[in-house]
Amino acid sequence: TVSVREVLQEIMLNVWAKAEQKQIKLRLSAEEEDYLIIGDGNRLKQVFLNVIDNAIKFSHMNTWIDITIKREQDQVVVIVQDTGIGISEEHLERVKDRFYQVDHQHGGTGLGLAISQQLIELHGGSLLMESELGNGTTVTVKLPALTQEEHFESDIDPGVV
Ligand code: ATP
Ligand code: MG
């Protein structure tokens, strides 16, 4: 099992210096301690590193990025919201295509979102991009939450059973 909250906290530490350079504040809000899911922690780190790296890359100086974790029925939902340059409707349709970039001024390969989307789908989840040109972008990732039973089973030492 993976703690989504831990994954995000680690990524926030990783990107701290980059955000600091642009005086961008990262704010995490989460009510629960962990938000457990079944998955591959390293792959999930890769996803959120890309999503948060994008948010920083396409934000203006001296802004903030809000990261929210919450529970919605049987899903863990992560929302990454920036107030950056945004994406127009025509580009928004294509940003998850491999190698697609709105412009080529910011480096990278344009693979980040294509890979992120696939990794999230392999976890049984979904990745949604919403944006408004000039106003910012919101990325919503939904992942199936660990059920009570799975939670219980994962607490049992397999060596004892
Ligand atoms: P890589 O992730 O491989 O380093 P990349 O960041 O350009 O390169 P993606 O993460 O796939 O590639 O994003 C694709 C494109 O979508 C970006 O180049 C950018 O044009 C647009 N985009 C993604 N996230 C945002 C965002 N938060 N705000 C504005 N544009 C974005
Ligand atoms: Mg990227």
Q: Which H/E stretch holds residue 144?
A: strand 136-144
- pTM beyond 0.90: yes
Both structure tokens of 27: 């704010």
8 A C-beta contact, residue 117 and residue 127? yes
The per-residue pLDDT of the chain, averaged, comes to: 94
Q: Which atom of ligand 1 is nearest to the CA of 101?
A: 18
Distance CA 111, CA 100 (A): 7
pLDDT band at 156 (very low <50, low <70, confident <90, very high): low
56 lines ligand 1 (CB under 6 A): no
The residue whose CB lies within 8 Å of the most ligand 1 atoms, and thus the one to mutate among 56, 64, 89, 113, is: 113
pLDDT band at 2 (very low <50, low <70, confident <90, very high): very high
Q: Which pLDDT score is estimated for 152?
A: 77
Residue 151 dihedral angles phi and psi, to the nearest 5°: -60, -45
Does this complex have an ipTM over 0.90?
yes
